[in-house]
Amino acid sequence: MSEIEGLPDEIDSGDIAFTFENYDSDGGGPTLFDFRATWDGGHTMTWWQDISERQPGLSPMSSAPSEGWASWRNGNDLLVAYTWPDLETDGWAYVRGGAPTAAKDDDAMYEPETWLALARTVLGVVHERFSDADGGTFR
C-alpha cells in the first residue's frame, strides 16, 4: 500500500474517507488507519478514525474507534476535541502550529498530503503524543 489510499488528487469539501499508514515512535512497522472527515470547506471538520480492517493480524476486538471535531480558525493552530468510547475517555488538545494551513495558504486543504498530515496530527492528539500541546483527558 502507498502511504495514503482512497483520496483523489484534489479534495473537495464534504465527506472525505481514506486509509493511511502511521508509524509508532517506538520504531515498529506501519499500522493502517481508516480516517473519515466531513469538512465544511473552511476551517472546521468532524472526524472519525479507527485501525483499518486491512491491518494484518487483527481480531474483532482490535477496533476501538474515536471521533470528534477539529478547528483551525486562526489558520495556524489546531484545536481538537474527541471522544473514545471504548476507552471511556474524552479529551481535547490545542496544538500550536498544528493547523493544516500553518505556513501554507488555504488552497493546501485541497491537497491529499495536507489531509494525511492532519489525520496523523489528530491520531497523535488522541494517543497523547504531543508533549508541547495544551489539553487534557477526562476518564
Question: What is the structure's pLDDT at 34?
Answer: 96
Give this prediction's pTM. 0.90
Percentage with pLDDT > 70 across the chain: 96
Write the pLDDT tens digit of every residue in 52-87. 988 888 777 788 999 999 999 999 999 999 999 999
Average pLDDT on 33-52 reads: 96
Kindly indicate the confidence band of residue 26, based on its pLDDT and cuts at 50, 70 and 90. Answer: low
Contact between 114 and 98 under an 8 Å Cβ cutoff? The reply is: no
When pLDDT is averaged across residues 13-30 and rounded to a whole number, the result is: 84
CA distances from 25 to 28, 53, 82 (A): 7, 22, 22
How far is Cα 90 from Cα 69, in angstroms, rounded to an integer?
Answer: 12
Give the gyration radius of the chain's Cα atoms: 14
Mean pLDDT of 43-60: 90
Whether residue 27 has pLDDT greater than 70: no
